[in-house]
Structure 1
């Protein structure tokens, strides 16, 4: 394998082959930084596939120029996270020698040994279908953002583990089984796709990764976090960060879509009760900040999900045209 500088990478005949799949939507600078990090990986047997979801910032030309060995797939429109990933998966699985797919957001930095550690863990447990690292904040490198997540079936479907936990010493080597992994970095064995298929395109964004892990679990695949593997994530660049209208809308809509597919009666009772109690409090809190529209959009997300309506035009217009609009007010970049 030859990297972008023309240097021959070492080949390992018995080493599993990995396809690294990255999504980009008008995030050229972040994406180029992520690709730089990917090309510093020690692992020798991988290829990079990048799906561009209808960018309008000349991302494709910049990426092709800087990284000519990257396999670039350009979609004419923004297909969302699930749709964009599925476009890449379909192309990747046509190659019979691909053993794993590593999903990365376009705003992450990887430690150079990350892929070696993830593949070693997956190879060491035949039941392990999805594996990921400890994810820390890019802006606070020793503070954990996620160590996997657990299903809670409340106003959101899953909650991140160990969020804001400070890493004060070297992490112990090991594997911790979890309910789900965030899509910013997860290694998935080919057998998972052959068993459960791809991501559900009903989830434009938010909950698509949790739903995928949930179906994998039902099919008997374990999900785990490699505790000595690290990655740094520019959290929430996809929606501007914080409690924004676009993020609130998609989170609530996806929660209802998930419940319709997988929820039991007690799951519905828990989720709707939490939503009913939290929305009024959130409105009062955000009104003081001048951000009450985010709560309104969250409520609309619940309604659209319950009634089976398409994505709210206010949100859809922004993500399809790639222009700043009323959905989130400020400048927003999306990892898809």
Structure 2
């Protein structure tokens, strides 16, 4: 079998230790035809010098400042797409550890079905490897996105290649043909939900996504910002509106807004009782910025809806 060209892109931002562990694991990859691109998002921890000194074989892109996950990866993706000869692009969070045969299984899945635009491995928690982190992205009928399989014990329940709504960008293989069709990550997201947005566009544009459970990757969940970061809370709140307004059917948008109002009230009440004023500020700012950018998201929605191939009825079948 021919081995198509694959570019593996790893984004680094002050995460030298995790990135080094990721690169060392990649050395054992059994797939033969790949390159590694490390994108540095303006790190100040000596990452760039270390990579130049110890990994001269990798391609290093220096962004100079923190462009976020979305645009940080886009910089490298655009460079790959310009070259034309690369068939697949793999994205890996720098806090992942791959099994040696991970890429073979993912490439085989895309090679076997031209209608599949992206696939992902079974992602397990690095510090608790019998627990699943994600086998894909799902979106419910109220527009809320979540990681399929999150925190389930890995008992072999996901043993076959399964179609999923979309793939988690922290460990995924994308067909470059699909990315040329759908466009890349939306830089306005900066970080979080940008993969949900891309996955939803892929669905609307007629592309399938699958999980390939024989490909296994281990992940440190929320290693970059942590679960208690006010900035992360802000991005999650704001961006949850972004992908819904841009992509989902009007009825789902209404259910999303009702659900947001209900959950937001009780979240604010809890944060007030615990005197977590930083989180309150992040939550309020996320909502206000989402409202302020509503015209921009509606403009993007108009463009997406004009290009979509999947009917509203067929799309809603994928909402759980």
| TM-score, with structure 2 as normaliser | 0.87
Partner residue of 2:167?
Answer: 181
SS where residue 228 of structure 1 aligns? strand
Instruction: Tell me if structure 1 keeps the 8 A contact 2:196–2:243.
Output: no
Distance (whole Å) between structure 1 residues aligned to residue 210 and residue 158 of structure 2:
16
Structure 1, unaligned runs of 5 or more: 1-11, 310-336
Cα deviation for residue 292 of structure 1 reads 4.4
Q: Map Cα deviations across residues 81-111 of structure 1 (whole Å, 9 max, x no partner).
A: 1111110011112223211000011100011
Cα deviation for residue 290 of structure 1 reads 4.8
- Does 2:294 match 1:302? no
Structure 2, unaligned runs of 5 or more: 295-320
The equivalences for 1:1-336 within 5 A come to 14-152=2-140, 154=142, 157-169=144-156, 172=159, 174-241=160-227, 243-287=228-272, 289-308=274-293
Name the one with the larger helix percent. Answer: 2
SS where residue 142 of structure 1 aligns? strand
Instruction: Tell me if structure 2 keeps the 8 A contact 1:78–1:84.
Output: yes
Q: Give the paired residue count.
A: 294
RMSD between aligned residues? 1.8
Instruction: Tell me if structure 1 keeps the 8 A contact 2:138–2:166.
Output: yes
Cα deviation for residue 157 of structure 1 reads 3.7
Partner residue of 1:325?
Answer: none
| TM-score, with structure 1 as normaliser | 0.83
Instruction: Tell me if structure 2 keeps the 8 A contact 1:157–1:207.
Output: no
Residues 153 and 65 of structure 1: CA distance in aligned 2, closer, same or farther (over 3 Å): farther
Distance (whole Å) between structure 1 residues aligned to residue 248 and residue 288 of structure 2:
17
